[in-house]
Structure 1
Amino acid sequence: MTNSSSYIIPSDDADEIDSLPSTSTTSSLSDDEDISDAEREWRESLQQLELLLTMVVVPYVGKYFGRKCAYWSWAKFMEWKYPVEIVVTSPKAFKGAGAVAAAASL
């Protein structure tokens, strides 16, 4: 193999790479000082709201609608499998009982 078929171009000046301009790593103000107090409080409020949603609201809503889906699918299965008609006599009491049962283990 000859040098002409190589993909590497030989360079005599090794200092060319060492003298590349570097960016300044120090600044007059750090990132924390650039952020105002209002911005910091806004971010903390968003973080607290996100925690509230992920730890309380989403599991409760998921459990409530999961139970509704399970009751509905069980009623459809029973109507299909057996000649039984499922009737909810009091929809408000049924929804209230589902909400209470979903919140029982929280």
Structure 2
Amino acid sequence: MLVRIVKMSFETNNIETFLSIFESSKTHIRGFKGCKFLELYRDKNNPNIFFTYSYWDSEDDLENYRHSELFKGVWAKTKALFNAKPEAWSVDKLETLN
């Protein structure tokens, strides 16, 4: 399983727009082939910083999403709102303790 972590920072006046974009696209992203999990987090100390965590069956599934019309549309709207360059990591999930 591949985990994708994306860190995004927004201008304060763009946060509500970002949250609206996420709200309208989250079920489509989660429903994309190979996506098994999607969460959105907000930094406790800097409310302009958000993280998405998504779980993917494979790197191919993530790449198919990243080349999809869905991603292109969501990303085009989202990237216009950033106040810093986004950062992204693809990591392998090694262990979970519940």
Determine which structure has the larger strand proportion and give its number.
Answer: 2
Question: Higher RCO, 1 or 2 (CA under 8 Å, sep at least 6)?
Answer: 2
**Would you tell me which structure has more helix in proportion to its own residues?**
1
TM-score > 0.5 by shorter chain: no
Q: Shorter-chain-normalised TM-score: which range?
A: under 0.3
TM-score, length basis structure 2? 0.28
Of the two, which has the highest radius of gyration?
Answer: 1
Give the TM-score, by structure 1 length.
0.26
